[in-house]
């Protein structure tokens, strides 16, 4: 039942504050991670983990890419690969490596095959971050860490993605503890997560403004999404959402790669979307965007109060100040809404985009 919403996708976007709270429920309390809630088998596996290999497809792969930045920040090595490539590669597994699969459905054929093949590859074990309790990935992995997004019907994944990021952030905190995370640092990270549902609600209140931005996309054929650091995978996810439901060709690039090719595409007809929070790479991104403006590219920016954009022409939406740890989650929301409103204006089938299935159970 879609309730008051025109589409399941929109309903699922709006469910995010609630399902993020659900995913945190019983796992954090008063500035601490409740690791016992992970189960003994999981914590024993985390004790042995020196490196993480993440394998997933589509949106779930993007969640894995964000987690790589998080894990490396606390000293845990991490590789991420799409399952369809990983499966057919001769992988060299580092000592103490944990295989993490990420999947909404738990039935994605390539991800499942990657898990099955991993048994002979020397991993210390397998953990799945999954949304469907009875799924094949849950049954066949050594341990699971469930997201609690509820049923996701829209083919374009939204609430599954943000709850995957929450789950991965919790796992990161657990691994960080084993790397000497101080109680004060843990408190900061946990409190950021605790306030996340409210932060997401505040972004959802900007929907009307995003709807207006979307009007400039409906006659476009291409769009470029830029980001740096953990916002690069956020840009990848934004581009995937737009292409999936509006059929506009959208590509994501690390902003620093612009000059190495994609800048040649930029002219007045090219919208360029960028998440631009106040973070250590801000100045670098701004100088990349300057290049875009110099070629007439139209800029659509998502930023916060602390950022002085200082470019000549652009459209921007200012988000409330957010926390660095959870910012990639918060900045994913406006990109979901942008894709939704562009698709709506184009009159495409938002919940059932052409040629796509919700779950890819064949190779």
Minimum CB distance to ligand M6R smaller for 281 or for 350:
350
Quote the CA–CA distance of 222 and 44 in Å, as a whole number: 48
Assigned token pair, 64:
């894995």
Minimum CB distance to ligand M6R smaller for 152 or for 298:
152
Assigned token pair, 137:
């990935």
Whole-number minimum distance, CB 189 to ligand M6R, in Å? Answer: 25
Contact residues for ligand M6R, defined by CB under 6 A: 57-60, 103-105, 108, 111, 155-157, 240, 244, 359-360
Whole-number minimum distance, CB 336 to ligand M6R, in Å? Answer: 10
Minimum CB distance to ligand M6R smaller for 102 or for 330:
102
- The catalytic site residues sit at 358
Minimum CB distance to ligand M6R smaller for 57 or for 213:
57
Whole-number minimum distance, CB 124 to ligand M6R, in Å? Answer: 23
Minimum CB distance to ligand M6R smaller for 115 or for 240:
240
Strand partners, 88: none
Whole-number minimum distance, CB 59 to ligand M6R, in Å? Answer: 3
Minimum CB distance to ligand M6R smaller for 224 or for 350:
350
Whole-number minimum distance, CB 237 to ligand M6R, in Å? Answer: 8
Minimum CB distance to ligand M6R smaller for 95 or for 355:
355
Closest residue to ligand M6R, Cβ-based? 58
Whole-number minimum distance, CB 108 to ligand M6R, in Å? Answer: 3
Whole-number minimum distance, CB 150 to ligand M6R, in Å? Answer: 14
CB-based burial, 133-166: b 16+ in 10 Å, e otherwise? eebbbbebbbbbbbbbbeebebbbbbbbbbbbbb
CB-based burial, 232-266: b 16+ in 10 Å, e otherwise? bbbbbbbbbbbbbbbbbebbbbbbeebeeebbebb
| Contact assessment for residue 313 and residue 272, using Cβ atoms and an 8 Å cutoff | no
Quote the CA–CA distance of 105 and 187 in Å, as a whole number: 32
């Amino acid at each position: 039942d879609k309730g008051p919403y025109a589409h399941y996708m929109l309903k699922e976007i709006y469910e995010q504050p609630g399902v993020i709270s659900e995913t945190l429920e019983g796992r954090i309390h008063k500035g601490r991670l409740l690791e016992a809630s992970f189960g003994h088998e999981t914590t024993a596996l985390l004790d042995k983990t020196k490196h993480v290999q993440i394998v997933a497809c589509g949106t779930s792969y993007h969640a894995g890419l964000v987690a790589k930045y998080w894990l490396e920040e606390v000293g845990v090595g991490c590789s991420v690969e799409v399952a369809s490539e990983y499966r057919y590669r001769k992988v060299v597994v580092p000592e103490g490596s944990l295989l993490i699969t990420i999947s909404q459905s738990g039935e994605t054929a390539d991800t499942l095959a990657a898990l099955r093949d991993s048994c002979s590859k020397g991993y210390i074990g397998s953990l799945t971050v999954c949304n469907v309790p009875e799924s094949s990935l849950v049954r066949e992995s050594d341990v699971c860490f469930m997201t609690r997004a509820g049923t996701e019907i829209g083919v374009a994944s939204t609430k599954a993605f943000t709850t995957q990021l929450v789950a991965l952030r919790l796992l990161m905190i657990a691994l960080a503890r084993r790397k000497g995370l101080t109680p004060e640092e843990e408190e900061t990270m946990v409190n950021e997560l605790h306030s996340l549902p409210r932060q997401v609600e505040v972004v959802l209140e900007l929907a009307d403004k995003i709807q207006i931005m979307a009007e400039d996309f409906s006659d476009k054929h291409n769009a470029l999404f830029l980001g740096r650091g953990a916002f690069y995978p956020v840009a990848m996810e934004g581009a995937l959402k737009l292409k999936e439901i509006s059929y506009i060709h959208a590509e994501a690039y690390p902003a620093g790669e612009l000059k190495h090719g994609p800048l040649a595409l930029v002219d007045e007809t090219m919208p360029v979307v960028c998440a631009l929070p106040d973070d250590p790479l801000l100045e670098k991104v701004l100088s990349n965007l300057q290049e875009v403006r110099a070629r007439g590219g139209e800029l659509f920016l998502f930023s916060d109060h602390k950022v002085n954009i200082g470019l000549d022409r652009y459209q921007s939406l200012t988000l409330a100040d957010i926390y660095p740890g959870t910012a990639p989650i918060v900045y994913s929301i406006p990109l979901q809404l942008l894709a939704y409103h562009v698709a709506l204006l184009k009159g495409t089938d938002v919940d059932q985009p052409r040629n796509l299935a919700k779950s890819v159970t064949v190779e």
